[in-house]
Structure 1
């Protein structure tokens, strides 16, 4: 297959960029021709390393075209209710439309709602159209949901990153003829040996923005330091909350225990230095950093926020889930793992094992199947079948190990099995 991904800005930093690069590279590795079309560009090279087998082409270079007359006029195709609307323009409308009109891909994958609208409305009839949802339906304002409901009916497939969000789309959006299916984000197989769980270090990573609640994490860690002052917390990332978080750290007397490390890419070398991962968000559509930490052998303490963490972590087995906004509960969960070396090591091993379902192999197999079915349906002039083959059957048929096939069957099924064992 020839596959094109339509991405907002491949030269920035963020979860959607990471997951798009991961999936594009994994698809290229198994023999597909893959390119990423970046609507915007603001620097010479991407922040993240991209496999040379994956093509990358920008449409609007902000270094030269930020003041272009068309870029100063508002977009008409990109929906006005979309979060990124102010970054789009008459110029991006024109360039995206021209790109789609001439594209020679078998399938084009949109990676955010506004780009999915472009894809649905402007892609040639011969091209299979796959829209991705990297946030959640309920996170979008009602005006945007209305615009998406109208446009998305022209997609072939819509993927979400959790089963919960796929169910919400099926229930609320009424998209006849559109296949809606959960496709989790993947994390490449680690190149480094996993963490051994002996370091007295908790690691967190992500944008320093209010929804990530690093303030709560720091307050929770103060409870750990009160009992175990030899432990440290490292927070990787950059963002608007940096100065406030530094001031909070100093006010709590944690300057020797809590460190704002700045951005690091890739994060794998930093995860393996730790013994516990942490995520304190109020809202997490998936939880990419949770998976990254687990794939490096760290149990993760996370808030049980909508939607992702509860589909990734099994509480008490490979991490801990605590109520949203509860610093005391978060601190207690961290301290539980800090003080119990045997449990921390055991949960780290479980995290490493359970996170294999997010390896490229299982996720790529599912993505390939969806794309192939979309192409076949588009060529036959019919909707994509809604009958979903069991993931175990698909993966075993493609030569993946039985254990990885079981992991890939979906978090909801895994949770059902787990509950039955208790």
Structure 2
């Protein structure tokens, strides 16, 4: 089977790129796999790509590239949705290159990985292929305008895959897609090539973009209560982002410069997690929660906010980690102290985390996708019938609405004539 993934820019760093590569590598054990990158901004990808996977860049945006001199490069995209956050990075040249590639593709399965790319898939993907949209962000993270732009295109696809069942339920409720299979398949995380954490290090770790929604300010404030009782423990936060200077100032204001460090970016992150005994996530919302799974695959228990949507589907509260209310500093401090002060308990949780996180292994997730491919092929006729039936109902509703409006107009005209 020929499987093609469509990515925004395979040459960058990001969770969607990493998880796509994980899945593509697992599928390459039994299938012919390619990754099509809408853009190419550097010579080599930052992540290693399995040599069995064919990488196809469509538009080269590196300095001195001939693509930059193509007049279509400066014309805005007429396909990529205007409400999508990456809209300014798309243009008529990408539109044409994607259309040319997809129209000539002989792939059996095409998988898009972000909303705007999924619109390309809907517009240009050959109808003979299975066309699957992945949503790596939550439904509610999209603006109402973007959701309205996506819905008519998503209705033409075969499946919509979210990262959590909670998000799939929201799509089923708020964006009806007749004939489209809406389901969740979690991201995959491979077994790390590092020794499992032993739970003895007096370190709490966190990793991610230093952005407001991650609430690292709350984590630092919560850790202040840990440092007060256990001054030999340390907090290490990995990542970069716009909140860095503010977080550094907060660390200084709380007198935690010896206890808390902003470590910058580390890739891969797993070696850093194995040097910790607890990994913390304080986000207000997560579409999935890759950091949680990465930590658990290293045998590290986690403390996470019970934020929408991912953590509750990853962490088994009290078994392989702890879940606390969003925004509650005192509760987060209490949860951290629980693990800091109970070394046997956190080792037990770490062992459970290692065992439970195996369900996110790429081979297991790849089998879920293979089952989805088979199901979509088997149900093609039934889904097409459901789509036609829904379209007929929609047309009937429109005709009835127009008839009612016409009847109202005629009655008004009679009243005017009578008056």
Using the size of structure 2 for normalisation, the TM-score is: 0.88
Q: CA deviation at 1:92?
A: 1.6
Task: Report whether the alignment pairs 1:45 with 2:44.
Answer: yes
Q: CA deviation at 1:193?
A: 2.3
Give SS of 2:8's match: strand
The aligned counterpart of 1:315 is 317
CA offsets, 1:233-280, max 9 Å, x none? 111112222222222222222222212222111112111111101111
Task: Report whether the alignment pairs 1:148 with 2:150.
Answer: yes
Q: CA deviation at 1:224?
A: 0.8
Q: CA deviation at 1:343?
A: 1.1
CA distance in 2, matches of 1:243, 1:43: 28
**Among 240, 243, 247, the residue aligned to 1:241:** 243
Q: CA deviation at 1:190?
A: 2.2
Question: Which structure 2 residues correspond to residues 338-353 of structure 1 after superposition, within 5 A?
Answer: 338-353=340-355
Question: Which structure 2 residues correspond to residues 4-153 of structure 1 after superposition, within 5 A?
Answer: 4-28=4-28, 30-63=29-62, 64=65, 65-66=67-68, 68-153=70-155
The aligned counterpart of 1:370 is 372
Contact 1:110 1:132 in 2 (8 A): yes
CA offsets, 1:31-57, max 9 Å, x none? 211111111121122222211111112
CA distance in 1, matches of 2:149, 2:375: 26
The aligned counterpart of 1:411 is none
Contact 1:6 1:115 in 2 (8 A): yes
Q: CA deviation at 1:103?
A: 1.6
Give SS of 1:49's match: coil
Question: Which structure 2 residues correspond to residues 185-204 of structure 1 after superposition, within 5 A?
Answer: 185-204=187-206
The aligned counterpart of 1:406 is none
Q: CA deviation at 1:66?
A: 4.8
Give SS of 1:130's match: strand
Give SS of 1:181's match: strand
Contact 1:48 1:265 in 2 (8 A): no
Residues 153 and 56 of structure 1, relative CA distance in 2, 3 Å threshold: same
**Among 253, 264, 267, the residue aligned to 2:266:** 264
Q: CA deviation at 1:232?
A: 1.0
CA distance in 1, matches of 2:69, 2:347: 55
Give SS of 1:9's match: coil
**Among 358, 361, 368, the residue aligned to 1:359:** 361
The aligned counterpart of 1:413 is none
Q: CA deviation at 1:372?
A: 3.0
Contact 1:374 1:384 in 2 (8 A): no
CA distance in 2, matches of 1:56, 1:375: 26
Identify unmatched segments of 5+ residues in structure 2.
387-419
Q: CA deviation at 1:159?
A: 0.5
Q: CA deviation at 1:375?
A: 4.3
Identify unmatched segments of 5+ residues in structure 1.
387-422
Q: CA deviation at 1:384?
A: 8.1
The aligned counterpart of 1:329 is 331
Contact 1:75 1:88 in 2 (8 A): yes
Q: CA deviation at 1:383?
A: 2.5
CA distance in 2, matches of 1:145, 1:103: 28
Give SS of 1:383's match: helix
The aligned counterpart of 1:302 is 304
Aligned length: 383
Give SS of 1:349's match: helix
Using the size of structure 1 for normalisation, the TM-score is: 0.87
Q: CA RMSD in A?
A: 1.7
Task: Report whether the alignment pairs 1:282 with 2:281.
Answer: no
Query: More deviation in 247-256 or 314-323?
Result: 247-256
Q: CA deviation at 1:373?
A: 3.1
The aligned counterpart of 2:383 is 383
CA offsets, 1:107-145, max 9 Å, x none? 110001111111011111211101001111122111111
The aligned counterpart of 1:407 is none
